[in-house]
Amino acid sequence: MISLNLEEIERSVRALSVEEQLWLLERIARQIRETEYTKDKLADAKNPEEQLRVMVSQPKIPSEIAAKNDEFAISEIL
């Protein structure tokens, strides 16, 4: 059974232009591929340091780390 949330998402996607739908589809596919790649690599990693190297090597992780650092910068000032 499909949840009401998924049905709402589907309606929202239908309201997008074809170009926007293709962009969204490509983003979703990329995220799935990255998640699966990371999951496989983490399973192969033997120790926490190696797992950390795998996670940090993902394209989106450095920007997320930078954003978190910015969020906590104020606490370093205080």
Q: What is the pTM of this model?
A: 0.48
The answer, yes or no, to whether residue 51 has pLDDT greater than 70, is no
Give the count of beta carbons closer than 10 Å to the beta carbon of residue 54. 19
**Region 30-41 average pLDDT:** 77
Q: What is the mean pLDDT of the chain?
A: 77
Question: Cα separations (Å) of 30 from 11, 60, 63, 77?
Answer: 22, 11, 17, 38
The answer, yes or no, to whether residue 78 has pLDDT greater than 60, is no
Range of the domain at 32: 4-77
Whole-number Å distance between alpha carbons of 38 and 44: 10
